[in-house]
Each structure stands twice: as structure tokens, then as C-alpha cells.
Chains A and B, each alone.
Chain A
């Protein structure tokens, strides 16, 4: 579906995206595009949505270059960043125009619009002018315009910015539904916890470079040299006595009823821990990974590349 081969983009002397290669297969699912501001997320999305040609390398979406290619663009839905919608317009009129730009007209257009509005839960409120819609509703309208032509690839640039928690959860549920229905959803964000709630498949960008791609756990495996923090709940002293004998231990901290271990190679350490606990040799009541999340992955990787 998406294939980049050493695709790069320059804005004059500034390198917006270093030569980047990755592939996303056909089919539904959500992919998170992560990185801090200025990492190159929007640049990558501009390449994928055909707004810009790559300065080097190649970008293929559905097997073709997307730049100025109507055959590809008709399969893409884009929800750009920001909360700017034309004032003085009602949602439905704006949607109708966007549908027409996708080649719809007449009864098929009205049907597609009704379906998209229904999907995003705005069927009743689409006749409101944009300034009278809440930010969450405006975001849904933006999503509706991207869905009208039933795209196979949906690209959302920072879609959760400015949304309240309820609207955020609603949008996440909606994106999951679309992904389950066979749409490939590509979501960019600089807030790692948001993407972690949405998907485990990420592309990590930093300073115009693709640092890593894959599932969070896959990426975590790339980081075996970095210690993982685990909290072992139970009798802290007994747990600590056992832990200090393990070769993977890097650091140890005692809490009132838990031992916080910093260990390398968790894939070797955890089965041994499990075995020991099953034998009854450890007073273990709980195990919590403290940093097996996107935040930790991001920090490790960016620290290495900074």
C-alpha cells in the first residue's frame, strides 16, 4: 500500500526528511507516526498525500507515485492538522464541495455524505455553521470529508490536538472501527500515550529521520542494551536477595513492599523469574513493567540519536 525507498525531502537548504525507507502492506489497521514537533511527520504526510514530490528516492502509494496523481489521491482521505474551517459556511455545504472534488455528484454524493456524517455521528448537526460547532465536532466534520469517497488510506495529522478527553476517546473508537473495516489509518502525533492507546504499530521519527518502525514490543527488543524497569511486588527484601544473584540486574531500589529492578535482556530474565515464582521460591505478588511503553522507547531512541 505504501512504499518509501530512500525518500527524502528538502526545503531549500533544510532537510525536512532524511532518506527514509519503509513499507506498509495492504489491509486495515492503524499505524502511529510518532515524533516530537519538527520531527518530519507533516513532511512525510505531505509526501504520502501527494502534496509534494520527494527530493530524492521514491514514494509509492497503491503502487504509484501520489504526487499530482488523481488515481492515487482518490483512494486517500486526509485530515490535516489544525482547527481552521472556513467561517460563514455550514458543514453540509462544505462537505458537498469536498465530495464533488473527489468526483462524486448527484445521488451518490448525497448518499456518501449521509453515510460519512452518520459514521462520525454528525448527521443531526451538519447544518450548523462551523463557528457554532465545538472543536470535537469540527474535527469530526474534517474526518467526514476524508471519509466520503471511501478511501483505503486515511491520513490524520495530529487529530487529537485540542480535543477534550471524551472527544478523544470517541475519535479513537471511530478510528478503530474504520481500521477494523479494512481502512488503513495513519495517525501522526507527538503525544505518545495517545498513540499507545490506539495502536501498537508505530513509525518513530526524530529530526527528519525514521528511527524505528514496528510494534512497540518489537522496538523494545531493539533496545536490549537499555535496562528495563520492573516493579516486583511482595516481600521486598526477599525479592532483592534473589535479584542480586541474577546476571541481568543493573540496578535495584527497595520500596516498602516492592523491589524495583533495572535489568537487561528481559527475554532471558522474565522466564527465569516466572519459573522461580511458580516453584514458590519467591514471595512475589505482582509484576509491573514500569517503562515498557512508548514514552520509554521514544526516550531511549531519541537519546541515542540526539
Chain B
């Protein structure tokens, strides 16, 4: 058989398109936006946001209207205020529902590609494995961040608009709530995408995310109960998501402190990103 000297092909023009990670993330985002569950969550989150905005407005009225002011003063013992109230902008049922939303969306992000064997096709294009996992992680974190962003900003903007920087909400509220929202989103995104990479179907992926979140919450709660230290609750991503706004707003009602929160956040972030990276290697993408 004749031997031919290998020759280099002309260098392909890869500059025309967008970065592969952005292409993958945009494609998945469009798929998410087409899903009908957005209507339900959109309605619920909008109602929660209106409730919080209403809260800000009522506090504003307290200073403007003597009757309402007296009523609110009477109700003051049962109304949360101060740091707790600020932290609550990103807390309560909002984070629980958000975990559910992230599980539904993020749980299928990688698992769906595993089920339909999309990764071999992607990797056979000029796509690096890092493009793939960064896209999945970024999108899993972007969704909760996009939901949390109006909760972190709109009440503050309303407060500033009504009464200026010395109004109902602290002037520094965005500096406290935006980092909290980012940490919560990264935590949720890493758990969701990492757990999804362990599953072979989207449903199993959703189960993995919910299972990991609830399982670690139960484990943290058990250890807390047995050993009496609230720091064990930092094992739970759900507790961490609830705790960060409190820590950053300076609430005294936190279950654990800064050190467990940092360790508890860095650990899952590193672990689940490592799992995601390992499970989406080209060698895992068998033909």
C-alpha cells in the first residue's frame, strides 16, 4: 500500500461563530424557556415578589400616614424588621421553591444529553469538555440567580425611589443581597448539574438533585440534633442557601457562622463541579 505524507488541512475559520460554551448554554436556555412549568413558577415568584414589594410600600406608608403608622406600630412585635427582614428578601419559601425549580431544570440538563447521546456528537465538533461543563454549570446557576435578582434589587429600588437612600431599606442592601444571591445560585447550580451528570435520564436527574438536597438537609439536621452544634447544618446546601443572606445582612438568627458557611459552600462547589467534569469527559461519551 502506498505511503502518503500527512498534510495539514487549511486552518478552519472558527472565528465566525460564538464560543461553544455560549452556544450550548443558549441552546439549553431556549429549551428551558419552552417548558410550560415556567408559567407556574413565574406566577408564584411574581406573587412572592409583589408581597415583598408590598411590605416595603407599607413601611413607607407608616411614615406618611398616621393611621397606618399606628397600626404598624401595634403590629411591630409580629413583623420582622431590620437584618432579619432584609435577609428574608432571599429567604423563606422562595429558596425552597427555587430548589425545586433548579431540580426540575438542572436535573435534566446533563442527564438528557446522556440519554440521547448528544455528547459524542458535541465532542466530535470543535468543542472542549470544559466548554460543555462550564455551559451546564453556568446555566444551572444562571436560572436561580435570574430569579433571585429581582428579589435582591426591586424592593431596594422601590425603597430608594420612595424615600431615598435613608428609607425603609438599607442603602447597602444590594451589596449584601447580591453576593448572597450569587452564592446561592452557584451552590444550587453546582449541585444540580453535578447530580444530573450522575443520572442517565432527566427524571433520575431530578430525583438525584432533590435527593441530594433533602438527604444532606436530613443528615445535617440529625448531626445537629445529636452533637448539638449548628455547624453541622452547613453540610446541607439547603441550609447554606438559607444562611448566606442572614450572614451577609448581619442577622442574629443564623444557625451557624462564617467559617462553616465558607467551608460548607466551597466543599460542595468543588465536589459537584469535579463530579460534573469527571462524568462529562469525552471518554464517558461513548459512541
| A interface residues (Cβ-Cβ under 8 A, vs B) | 1, 3, 23, 25-26, 42, 45-46, 49-52, 60, 62-64, 67-68, 70-78, 80-82, 84-89, 93, 97-98, 100-106, 108-109, 145, 149, 152, 155, 157, 213-214
Complex contact B126–A101 (CB within 8 A)? yes
| B interface residues (Cβ-Cβ under 8 A, vs A) | 1-4, 6-9, 11-18, 20, 23-24, 27, 30-31, 34, 112, 115-118, 120-129, 282-283, 285-287
Contacts A60-B6, A63-B9 aside, 12 further interface pairs with beta carbons under 8 A come to: A25-B2, A46-B287, A50-B124, A51-B124, A51-B282, A62-B6, A62-B7, A63-B6, A80-B120, A81-B287, A97-B27, A101-B125
Residues of A within 8 A of B12 (CB): 70-71, 74-75, 103, 149
The answer to whether A103 and B4 touch (CB under 8 A), given A42-B287, A51-B285, A78-B121, is: no
Residues of A within 8 A of B125 (CB): 73-74, 98, 101-102, 149
Residues of B within 8 A of A108 (CB): 16
Complex contact A104–B17 (CB within 8 A)? yes
Q: Which residue of A lies closest to B11 (CB)?
A: A71
Closest chain-A Cβ to B6's Cβ sits at a distance in Å of 3
The answer to whether A101 and B122 touch (CB under 8 A), given A42-B286, A74-B14, A81-B287, is: yes
The answer to whether A103 and B15 touch (CB under 8 A), given A26-B7, A70-B126, A74-B126, is: yes
Complex contact A80–B117 (CB within 8 A)? yes
Q: Which of A23, A42, A62, A103 contacts B1 (CB 8 A)?
A: A23
The answer to whether A106 and B120 touch (CB under 8 A), given A73-B125, A84-B115, A97-B23, is: no
Complex contact B115–A101 (CB within 8 A)? no
Closest chain-B Cβ to A38's Cβ sits at a distance in Å of 13
Closest chain-A Cβ to B131's Cβ sits at a distance in Å of 9
Complex contact B8–A62 (CB within 8 A)? yes
Complex contact A101–B117 (CB within 8 A)? no
The CA-CA distance from A52 to B284 in the complex, in Å, is: 9
Residues of A within 8 A of B122 (CB): 101
Closest chain-A Cβ to B277's Cβ sits at a distance in Å of 14
**Count of A-B residue pairs with CB < 8 Å:** 131
Complex contact B4–A63 (CB within 8 A)? no
Complex contact B1–A71 (CB within 8 A)? no
The CA-CA distance from A109 to B127 in the complex, in Å, is: 17
Q: Which of B11, B17, B116 contacts A105 (CB 8 A)?
A: B17
Complex contact B123–A50 (CB within 8 A)? yes
The CA-CA distance from A147 to B63 in the complex, in Å, is: 68
Q: Which residue of B lies closest to A145 (CB)?
A: B121
The CA-CA distance from A149 to B125 in the complex, in Å, is: 10
The answer to whether A70 and B8 touch (CB under 8 A), given A52-B282, A80-B117, A86-B118, is: no
Q: Which residue of B lies closest to A188 (CB)?
A: B287
Complex contact B17–A213 (CB within 8 A)? no
Closest chain-B Cβ to A75's Cβ sits at a distance in Å of 5
The CA-CA distance from A145 to B120 in the complex, in Å, is: 13
Complex contact A23–B4 (CB within 8 A)? yes
Q: Which residue of A lies closest to B126 (CB)?
A: A70
Complex contact B287–A103 (CB within 8 A)? no
Residues of B within 8 A of A88 (CB): 31, 34
Q: Which of B1, B3, B11, B31 contacts A89 (CB 8 A)?
A: B31
Complex contact B112–A86 (CB within 8 A)? yes
Complex contact B124–A49 (CB within 8 A)? yes
Task: Give 15 A-B contacts (CB < 8 Å), ordered by A residue.
Answer: A23-B3, A42-B287, A50-B282, A70-B128, A74-B14, A75-B12, A81-B287, A84-B115, A86-B118, A98-B121, A100-B20, A101-B126, A102-B125, A105-B17, A155-B124
Residues of A within 8 A of B112 (CB): 86
Residues of A within 8 A of B2 (CB): 25
Complex contact A102–B287 (CB within 8 A)? no
Closest chain-B Cβ to A248's Cβ sits at a distance in Å of 28
Closest chain-B Cβ to A72's Cβ sits at a distance in Å of 8
